[in-house]
Structure 1
Amino acid sequence: MKAIILAAGQGTRLRPLTDKCPKAMVKLHNKSLLDYQIEQFHRAGIQDIAVITGYKREAVTTEHAIKLYTNERFAETNMVYTLFCAQDELQEDVIVSYGDIFYSEPALQKLMSSESDISVVVDTQWKSYYAERFGNPYDDAESLVLNEAGQIRSIGQSQPLLENIQAQYIGLMRFKQRGLEQIKGIFHESMQSDAPIGWGRAAEKAYMTDLLQEAIHRGFDIQAVPIDGGWFEIDSLHDYEVALKCMDKSELWKKAK
């Protein structure tokens, strides 16, 4: 099992913290988000880690051994294109993580224990955390609909009906070999034909949720891995302050510092 961390974005909503570095290098208690993730992977026994950079790539540093890839077109592309900048790594069994998130060890272990071809971590108790981040928890919520078997039927649609918000996607997923072949087929077909995927975006501009939703449209199974909180995202200055408070008051995060 290997891990890929997507760390190419500019993080404009985190300025001035991202004036000189990407979001993954923003520090919480003197440790970067990137180092938090790498150390989490190491504790889980994952040593093969690739990081895909873009914005301020020269600022991406760590004492840990990693493979570095670069999305040279980071300013004009999005998450899916970034992932395929490390296509050589998309083999066998891969965990993919956004570079601006941090999650607890139980969340990672639960993902690693999934047997599905495509597995996606979702927070079923997201409302309290989103209320801290946005005031109204529904302001930034996207669709996430599960069937009775726990498979995802809708993910990433903006401004969904309230009944279509059963959980929230956190930016952490796993693809086994069959799942990797499925998403490779979607990406390359879309790049060659210019056909939109997911919620109507071209592959170059697509979010990861577009790729996942396109897999659902094509009848591929995506298994939800539910967690009860225990993660945070650093997408804005307010997110940063919320994360610092969480780490200071929770024994879970104190252990990670």
Structure 2
Amino acid sequence: MKSIIIGAGRGISNGSVVDYHKTLYKDIIGRRVLDWILNSFKESGITDTVFIGGFQLEKIMEFYPSLRYYTNNSWDTTNILSTLMCASEELDSDVVVSYSDITFRPNIIKSLIASKDDITILIDSKWRNRYVGRTGEDLQKSEKVIVKNGYVSNISKNIPVTSLVSGEFIGLCKIKANVANEIRKIYTTLLENYQKD
């Protein structure tokens, strides 16, 4: 089992200037977001971690030289799937995929590893009230998920904020090797067809 951290996006804004990457943000005891993520992986038995970056990737590489890195050179114009596909060769085994700006405990990763499903995503069912001061605009921009009979029927930022929403995708999932390989094939085919037009 390996982990892939998607961290190509822009950093935290200080006024109008984006000055540092979100994953390097420190808590009150001085631990960076990436420290929390890597510790949870390690405590769960995952020691092979890939980081896909773009914005300020050199700073992350400086602090974490032991990680394996891939670069999304088009990070400012592409999406999360495009970033993941920058490391498509890594999708050859079961993989836990994480956003780079979230924190979670090891037991969450252990529950993902134990899942037998082809794709397992984690959602926050208390998403409406999880954060102090969260606005209606924040809720609308969140990655909302609708679950029916234990399976995801819809996941999108474009889902209206209604009682039908089961929760918010927290940016953490597990993809089994067979499905990861299919995702890679489909993405490659679509990209080739799109580039021909």
Report the RMSD for the aligned CA atoms in angstroms: 2.2
Structure 2: how far apart are the matches of 1:83 and 1:139? Answer: 24
Overall identity of the aligned pairs, in %: 28
Tell me which residue corresponds to 2:21: 22
**Within-5 A mapping of 1:1-257:** 1-11=1-11, 14-16=12-14, 19-29=18-28, 30-60=30-60, 61-63=62-64, 65-130=66-131, 132-136=132-136, 138-148=139-149, 150-160=150-160, 162-194=162-194
What per-residue deviation string (whole Å, max 9, x for no partner) do you get for residues 141-183 of structure 1?
44411121x1111011414251431111000011111210221
Shift of 1:189: 2.2
| Equivalent position amino acid for 1:16 in 2 | N
Q: Which has the higher helix share?
A: 1
Structure 1: how far apart are the matches of 2:182 and 2:133? Answer: 34
The DSSP-based 3-state class of the residue aligned with 2:14 is coil
User: Is this contact kept in 1: 2:13–2:19, CA < 8 A?
Assistant: no
Shift of 1:40: 1.1
Structure 2: how far apart are the matches of 1:188 and 1:165? Answer: 32
Query: TM-score normalised to the size of structure 1?
Result: 0.68
| Equivalent position amino acid for 1:34 in 2 | L
User: Is this contact kept in 1: 2:140–2:158, CA < 8 A?
Assistant: no
Structure 2: how far apart are the matches of 1:138 and 1:125? Answer: 12
- Give the paired residue count: 191
Shift of 1:64: 6.5
- Divergent runs of 4+, >6 A: none
Shift of 1:43: 0.8
| Structure 2 gap segments, 5+ residues each | none
